[in-house]
Chain A
């Protein structure tokens, strides 16, 4: 076992021991409050403004926002943060090309901006999304940034610095690239890559844009996406030697409808042992690509229930998160959509089929008015079921001039508490000051940055620094599982973990992307309620092997290595 791996594992355990006793209800919370979140970004050092074009947002690129990632780039046991940045414009002039930010977690609740010395500032591109994975199987996380322009793949040099290898690997594909996901499509042990794209647009189109679309007969707003030409998505197959080959058509992943692609999420949705792929398309049918078992795919969204909502309508989809909302062991898909249309919960009913369960889950009303982007399933109170967090914010600042429509540009993000069996209740108002902020939020990712056993939340907003909502809620027991694969021995991405405690079972999968253009904590977090230990932990690795642990104590970071079944 490499020393670095051992050291990282040991660090997780020590930190868990030190922090677990600190949990207590904040004194300022009203009696009975289940959640308390506080924005610590300014004091923690996450201060760089995320630029988003012009104030009046005349082009959709001004409004699309950027992604965030939780990663441990230096493998010191503390989650670091990567924030993608856009450009600042003034009419048709570029005022500032925003720099992406890499923040190193100091381990004391604060972050150091190490962008400069890491060399991972994005290179002056207008950034969009981010995904993190060890694409070259060397044991260190690498960072892919999708851009409005050529993509950037930062290979981790293992010394705190990165080099951009996207051009050499042929994955730059200049355009308006958005969501991306590394996953092992053909289960050969190395990671392949899907990159979604939104609209065919040039920088000149963006700089010259004016607001021409009529909005409710009262104002002019940014035009599109209807009326704009969709850009095609790309799929790259890894050759196992660190190179990628474009294989979009061969793999059956041709974007023939030219969907307006945003978020991408890979997961074994049908439980047959290979990763499938879901792509959220804005205003078009969403794609569900079923893996046929040989690394080729078949688009089945039209008949497995995931292309449209229950009414058969395409929605303006932005973000995707995957979890087990009702605890039945089948993965569910939650897709965020435009304002005045609800976000949709596709409940997994087994064998890769889904049903729109939005209304039954109580998600129709709270998600109807907001314009939603990032979303995550996360057990925020460690009670054993996955809650939902949704990042909101309108794309038209002009809505603030028309209060009669009950909409606003800055919107509160949503915390929807799972009351068990997948029924959600809006508890935003009682979730602490962090959830009372009104911003044009976009990306969202969950991670336990202070290693105290609960998940904290990271958001990006347009034209503001990010928010880091520290979770100070009173919580139950927990278990966080770190999956490790020795360098050169395949990938942990795509593994499914099932934890059993008493009569309850909890399922999570490890993905390189989730939410909106973002990636959450690479460690899998399980809330356990009152359980002080779990009976079984099963890890189903993508190559068909399985690891098993029995009688494991709660409230710890547990590392499971693939070569230790």
Chain B
């Protein structure tokens, strides 16, 4: 469980450290209370980063599961000769969201983090592997998803089960690759 370090706890630790410093005469090391507080904070920060990764993984898994269900529904409708336009467009949107690591609301949260100076993959961003603020979806994976989303969207006008299946087969392995830790 992630350790919580409240602002008031930090302030009280700082206050007690100040008292200790005033009473000591030969202190040459950082007060142990402050080191402990920093240790605590480090645990929190590192745990938060891991939690962020797990949360984004959950967002992607939820999106994928939704997409998988919509894909199945679309296929069933197409095979039954029913209008599947809405399902196919829905699938395109969900696959696009896999590429965008979530929908617009998620993008808004990601932007807030970037605003605050938090870049989950700072080094990866500098090397051009990740878009700014992205946690799991690499630029290469993003392109695969977006291309598939567009191709799926184009099928909405005249849905075709085998063409849809063939697009889904591009999405599936790419998502599986993301699932690997």
Q: Interface digits, A210-229 against B, CB 8 Å rule (1 contact, 0 not)?
A: 00000000000000001111
Contact count A vs B, C-beta below 8 Å: 72
- A173–B40 CA distance with the chains assembled, in angstroms: 45
Interface size class of B (residues with CB under 8 A): 20 to 34
Segment with Cβ contacts to B, from A19-27, A63-71, A297-305, A446-454:
A297-305
Closest 3 CB pairs of A and B: A302-B96, A303-B149, A256-B104
Contact of B152 among A229, A257, A303 (CB under 8 A): A303
When the two chains form their complex, are residues B96 and A303 in contact, meaning their CB atoms are under 8 A apart? yes
Query: Which of B6-14, B31-39, B105-113, B173-181 lies on the face that meets chain A?
Result: B105-113
One of A227, A257, A308 near B108 (C-beta < 8 A): A257
Q: Which of A51-59, A310-318, A390-398, A410-418 contacts B (4 or more CB under 8 A)?
A: A310-318
Kindly list chain B residues whose C-beta atoms are within 8 Å of the C-beta of A303.
89, 92-93, 95-96, 146, 149-150, 152-153
- Apart from A257-B111, A258-B108, 4 more pairs, CB < 8 Å: A228-B115, A302-B146, A311-B139, A311-B143
What are 18 pairs between A and B in contact, CB < 8 Å?
A226-B132, A229-B112, A229-B115, A256-B105, A257-B111, A284-B111, A285-B100, A302-B97, A302-B99, A302-B149, A303-B89, A303-B146, A303-B152, A307-B96, A307-B100, A312-B142, A351-B154, A351-B157
Residues of A within 8 A of B43 (CB): none
Tell whether B68 is near chain A: CB-to-CB under 8 Å. no
Query: Roughly how many angstroms separate A258 CA and B110 CA in the complex, as a whole number?
Result: 11
Which single residue of chain B is at the shortest CB-CB distance from A349?
B154
Taking CB as reference atom, which chain A residue is nearest B152? A303
A353 and B146 contact, CB distance less than 8 A? no
CB pair B143 A300 closer than 8 Å: no
Q: Does A230 contact B (CB under 8 A)?
A: yes
Main secondary structure on A side of the interface with B: loop
C-alpha spacing A302/B143, complex, angstroms = 11
Whether A227 lies near B114 (C-beta < 8 A) is: yes
Contact B114 A226 (CB under 8 A): yes
* Residue numbers in B under 8 Å from A307 (CB-CB): 96, 100
Residues in chain A near residue B154, CB distance under 8 A: 351, 353
Question: 8 Å CB contacts to B: which residues of A267-300?
Answer: 284-285, 299-300
Q: Please, what's the 1-or-0 string for B146-169, where 1 marks a CB less than 8 Å from any CB in chain A?
A: 110110111001000000000000
- Name A residues whose Cβ lies closer than 8 Å to a Cβ of B: 226-230, 255-258, 284-285, 299-300, 302-305, 307-308, 311-314, 351, 353
Which residues of chain A come closer than 8 Å to B111, judged between CB atoms?
A: 230, 257-258, 284
Write the chain A residue with the least CB distance to B102: A257
A313 touches B93 (CB 8 A): no
Tell yes or no: B81 within 8 A of A by CB.
no
Q: Knowing A229-B115, A302-B99 are in contact, say whether A257-B150 is a contact too (CB < 8 A).
A: no
C-alpha gap A52/B44 in the complex (Å) = 45
CA distance A226 to B133 in the complex (A): 10
Instruction: Tell me, rounded to whole Å, the shortest Cβ–Cβ distance linking A316 to chain B.
Output: 12
Please determine whether A257 and B107 come into contact, CB atoms closer than 8 angstroms: yes
When C-beta atoms are compared, the residue in chain A nearest to B137 turns out to be A312
Q: A230-B111, A256-B108, A308-B146 are in contact. Are A300 and B117 (CB under 8 A)?
A: no
Measured between beta carbons, the chain B residues less than 8 angstroms from A314 are: 131
What residue in chain B is nearest A224 (Cβ atoms)? B115
Residue of A nearest to B98 (CB): A302
CB distance from A160 to the nearest CB of B (A): 44
Please indicate the chain A residues that have their CB under 8 angstroms from the CB of B150 in the complex.
303-305, 353
Distance A228 CA – B117 CA, assembled complex (angstroms): 10
By beta carbon, the residue of chain A nearest B141 is A312
Task: Output the nearest chain A residue to B156 by Cβ-Cβ distance.
Answer: A351
Residues from chain B with a CB closer than 8 A to the CB of A284 are 107, 111
Whether A313 and B107, one on each chain, are in contact in the complex, defined by CB atoms closer than 8 angstroms, is no
User: How far does the alpha carbon of A22 sit from the alpha carbon of B32 in the complex, in Å?
Assistant: 89
Complex Cα distance, B146 from A285, in Å, reads 12
Q: Which residues on A sit within 8 Å (CB–CB) of B97?
A: 302
Nearest Cβ distance between residue B50 and chain A, in whole angstroms? 24
